[in-house]
Amino acid sequence: MKDVVVTPEVAKEHGLTADEYARIQATLGRDPNITELGIFSVMWSEHCSYKSSRIHLRKFPTKGPRVLQGPGENAGIVDIGDNLAVCFKMESHNHPSFIEPYQGAATGVGGILRDVFTMGARPIASLNSLRFGRPEHPRTPFLVEGVVSGIAGYGNCIGVPTVGGEVFFDECYDGNILVNAFTLGVVRHDRIFRGYASGVGNPIIYVGSKTGRDGIHGATMASGEFDEKSEEKRPTVQVGDPFTEKLLLEACLELMKTDCVEGIQDMGAAGLTSSTFEMASRAGTGFIMNLDQVPQRETDMTPYELLLSESQERMIIVARRGREQEVLDIFEKWDLDAAVIGEVTPDGIARLLMNGVTVAEVPIAAVTDEAPIYDRPAERPAWQDDLNRLDLSALPAPSDLSESWLALMSCPEMADKKWVYRQYDYMIRTNTLVAPGSDAAVLRIKGTRKAVAISSDCNPRYCYLDPFVGGMLAVCEGARNVACSGAEPIGLSDCLNFGNPERPEIMWQFRSAIEGISKACEALAIPVVSGNVSLYNETMGKGIYPTPTVATVGLLEDADDRLVSWFRAEGDRVFLLGGDRVDVELGGSLYLKEVHGRVAGVPPAADLDHEKRLCAFIKAAASKRLLASAHDLAEGGLACALAESCITRPDGPIGAVVSNPFPESVRPDFALFSENQGRVLVSCGPANVAALLEAASEHQLHISQLGTVGGDAIVIADIARLNVAETHKAWCEGFANALGFGE
Amino acid sequence: MKIAVLVFPGSNCDHDAYHAIKHVLAADAQFVWHKEGSLDGFDGVVIPGGFTYGDYLRTGALAKLSPVMGAVRRFADSGGPVIGICNGFQILLESGLLPGAMIVNESLKFICDYVTLRTETARTPFTRSIPEGTRLRIPVAHYQGNYFADDETIRRIEGNGQVVFRYCDAGGNVTPEANPNGSIGSIAGICNEKGNVLGMMPHPERCTEPEMGSADGRRLFESMLSHIKENAR
């Protein structure tokens, strides 16, 4: 490798454009050698440099009274009081998971866990948001099996519960699935660590697994489109070892109780290179590194390979000078490799040596701060107008509405995901107060009265039809989901999955979605504290729907205020919040897709002021213990939300009889399945009705009494009726049936 | 009174067992690192669940070689109460402290869910205050929990009353549908001949507080503590 002469062609093979290569030559005042070219190519890849997205990401509101750490670190941190904070981030592992689903998903979980514990936090829960192609696509069942068992294999072994997420299917993901993993940890304010290589003369210590040749150029792979040769990229996918990561987690948390650590960062994409360059960049320092000292599991590795390997379960620690031995001792106790491989220097230069010979010497700022930033052209595509056209009156009315309703309940998007989450250990660490299946998962914070609620959300159909509105609605739904668990939303992490940014319509989608998310976050006072961008989600030129997934974190001061989405007791009264929203909104709806086979129209409108009052009201009603349940109306509208509240009840399904909140002039199928936003179905005991109505009026929130819980049928006026047992069965079996998994 | 919670590389239910004993039952619990060679001063031992050594070889096959397992054997020989939960059960099987072996679940998938157990005997220190026939709601979370042994061993442990828990339905009936993993005889937990060593796949430490969905697991730890208290007298 070291004999390779760097030419513009070699640079091109590394994913660098002619301009970018010229820029490298200008910065160095010479041609880079192959090792240096490798460094620039990974650090300037889309995945590491955010070169197409950076100027847009600045629009996010990232500040707030609770924010202790915003974007730019390994994960964001939000204060929850009593000297405690939550540390969280969501990240994509889309490309590797499509090539090699088990290892791709497993290492996605491993990577996000490291991002959280590198900040000093003990991870307490994970979520994942999964998007697959059509269930009937020949590759989909294989990908679902692989991804789910990969997440299970890693998360279960390391002992962090996987408590929820999303599973979504659409043709647009046939050639490019999405695997977004989220982890949340708890950290004391005085034990927060950051990725800084500060203190000239401080030792740089490598800890964790040995370095091999796996995953070389993973970040570059993740920054390109797929084609028919994608199978050949399998060797760029890393292999996960959750056992080693468990040791690494315990060893790091043990080390962080000492005061030996100046800075720490995990080696994720672009491995040793990105971790050391980023740490030095943040601290404004330089470093010298002896690559021959890096623990290696293969022989004759070149500097290029050592720098670009993405072997998993590795961290870089900058320790305080003179404390090296204490660090090494802790890692030895946990049977992990640890070696001093370099030291911090004052001059802002990275000097990399192999057996005493300099193999690369580059200014750190040139690689990091001065990485290219692109303001790529963005333009609303001409076809968007056609897409937004929808003549509802031309839509044939189904002959049997109850049948359509049942079909929606059993479609894979709506059906029970127990096949998935039963493979995840969602109870370990005994904090899971609300397990998968409700609007959000709720976890207690031991040693306090507090709990956190977490949810991941995005409706890609809405984002496709209008990325700005879709972005706003993703935030609103996340906020509503944590509010429906009794929590106040306090922070958010996003994972922005889009197609090729070099196409103006993709850039328009990207920019619009960010503007939508930003607007909603500002209105709801939810700071964006961390996130990740995944571009080039395309195969053979076909892009995915814009999919800006948001993970919302909510806080309950008292865990006993928590709510679930299912009805509790026979005789409880059912109410609809926001039921005065009666304009039919079927654009991008589940009904339109599943029953009529169309994705068209404009998505439902977002009313941010209403959403804010809605969330505040539910939280207030929960803390007064007025509510028995709360469930957000999402895909499938009132009909599907009502049926879910009936059949997801752990003590066994139960019926309900409710009235139709829409005027009689509205077509019955539209009334059932219209996806108007800002609506929540709540229930309460008869004794609380008066207090609930009063509280709603205090919050200036529209509330209408719809009916009563009980019986063996789910009934909406005289429009439609489902048998509870039959619906429960169809909902339970829908997922496995659609994917052909059988029992 | 002091309970040891063993910690191997890859144990991950150690904190949960510690929390249940120390904070829920307010008894003294201490973590014991697997390189310790002695359990002197302890009155009970919990081998918690997890993935010791990543389960890359057979589950428990490497953990049995840790120094602390020699101490566990001596502790068990002297009649001290030992409970192995999930991976802890697998370690007890590999160590030969309990008979039989674990194979992969019949579904070939990891299973995390609540199950119902029927208590088959009150003869162990962990079930002494749980009458025979009592149903317990306890979660399982495992990939290799399909208990297997040859016919001769099964006859022997059944004959000796060494089967402590079986998977059953909500009504207490032992049926194939209620068996989550394919275990022979729906066996969820067994003890040694003396009864002082219990291995079980379900996780009692996960359900000692009602907000976790069940507090039935608490009864096993209460039994153990009352047994220790009585024997100390």
Decide if A433 touches B, using CB distance below 8 A.
yes
The amino acid present at A264, given as its one-letter code, is I
pLDDT of residue A603: 98
> A440-454 pLDDT, tens per residue?
999 999 999 999 999
Is the CB of B12 less than 8 angstroms away from the CB of A158?
Answer: yes
Q: What is the DSSP string of A460-516?
A: HHHHHH-HHHHHHHHHHHHHHHHHTTT-EEEEEEEEEE-S-TTSHHHHHHHHHHHHH
CA B212/CA B50 separation, integer angstroms: 19
Decide if B16 touches A, using CB distance below 8 A.
yes
> A371-415 pLDDT, tens per residue?
999 999 999 999 999 999 999 999 999 999 999 999 999 999 999
pLDDT of residue A220: 63
The amino acid present at A682, given as its one-letter code, is V
Q: Which of B65, B112, B144 to mutate to test the interface with A (most CBs of A within 10 A)?
A: B112
A69 close to A192: Cβ distance less than 8 angstroms: yes
Decide if B64 touches A, using CB distance below 8 A.
no
**Which chain A residues are Cβ-neighbours of B16 within 8 angstroms?**
428-430
**Which chain B residues are Cβ-neighbours of A446 within 8 angstroms?**
19, 23
Residue A2 has pLDDT above 80, yes or no: no
- Domain range enclosing B57: 2-232
> B40-51 pLDDT, tens per residue?
999 999 999 999
- Closest-CA distance, A659 to chain B, in angstroms, reads 33
pLDDT of residue A522: 98
- Closest-CA distance, B165 to chain A, in angstroms, reads 21
Q: Which residue of A has its CA nearest to B208?
A: A430
Is the CB of A427 less than 8 angstroms away from the CB of B15?
Answer: no
Decide if B209 touches A, using CB distance below 8 A.
yes
Residue A256 class from Cβ within 10 Å (0-12 exposed, 13-18 middle, 19+ buried)?
buried
Per the structure block, which two tokens stand in for A295?
């623990």
Distances (CA, A) of A310 to A33, A306, A307, B113, B115: 21, 9, 9, 35, 41
Residue A565: what are its φ and ψ, rounded to 5°?
A: -90, -5
**What's the longest Cα–Cα distance across chain B?**
48
Decide if A444 touches B, using CB distance below 8 A.
yes
pLDDT of residue A735: 97
Residue A222 has pLDDT above 70, yes or no: no
Q: Which residue of B has its CA nearest to A650?
A: B213
pLDDT of residue A227: 62
pLDDT of residue A221: 57
A51 close to A44: Cβ distance less than 8 angstroms: yes
Q: Which helix (H) or strand (E) holds A574?
A: strand A573-577
Residue A244 has pLDDT above 90, yes or no: yes
CA A693/CA A705 separation, integer angstroms: 9
Nearest CA to B31 out of B21, B217, A326, B206 is that of B21
> A625-667 pLDDT, tens per residue?
999 999 999 999 999 999 999 999 999 999 999 999 999 999 9
Decide if A558 touches B, using CB distance below 8 A.
no
Average pLDDT of every residue of chain B: 96
SS (H, E, C) A77-126: EEEEECCEEEEEEEEECHHHHHHCHHHHHHHHHHHHHHHHHCCCCEEEEE
Residue A742 has pLDDT above 80, yes or no: no
pLDDT category at A129 given cuts 50, 70, 90 is very high
> A255-302 pLDDT, tens per residue?
999 999 999 999 988 889 999 999 999 999 999 999 999 999 999 999
ipTM rounded to 2 decimals: 0.96
- Closest-CA distance, B20 to chain A, in angstroms, reads 9
Average pLDDT of every residue of chain A: 94
Q: What share of chain A in percent tops pLDDT 70?
A: 97
Decide if A559 touches B, using CB distance below 8 A.
yes
**Which chain B residues are Cβ-neighbours of A152 within 8 angstroms?**
110
What's the average model confidence in pLDDT over B213-217? 97
CATH number at residue B88: 3.40.50.880
> B136-164 pLDDT, tens per residue?
999 999 999 999 999 999 999 999 999 99
pLDDT of residue A215: 73
Is A93 an active-site residue? yes
pLDDT of residue B80: 97
Residue A743 has pLDDT above 90, yes or no: no
Among A47-51, A215-219, A572-576, name the most confident range: A572-576
> A428-440 pLDDT, tens per residue?
999 999 999 999 9
Residue A317: what are its φ and ψ, rounded to 5°?
A: -120, 130
Of B13, B112, B143, the CB nearest to A426: B112
**Which chain B residues are Cβ-neighbours of A150 within 8 angstroms?**
none
Burial readout A578-597 (b: 16 or more C-beta within 10 A, e: otherwise):
bbebeebbbbbbbbbbbbbe
- Closest-CA distance, B77 to chain A, in angstroms, reads 30
pLDDT category at B232 given cuts 50, 70, 90 is confident
Residue B233 has pLDDT above 80, yes or no: no
Is the CB of A244 less than 8 angstroms away from the CB of B113?
Answer: no
pLDDT of residue A337: 95
pLDDT of residue A47: 87
Residue B96 class from Cβ within 10 Å (0-12 exposed, 13-18 middle, 19+ buried)?
exposed
A54 close to A375: Cβ distance less than 8 angstroms: no
pLDDT category at A234 given cuts 50, 70, 90 is low
Of A152, A428, A433, the CB nearest to B211: A433
Q: What share of chain A in percent tops pLDDT 90?
A: 92
Domain count, chain B: 1
Q: Who's near A234: CB < 8 A, 6+ residues apart?
A: A99, A100
Is B86 an active-site residue? yes
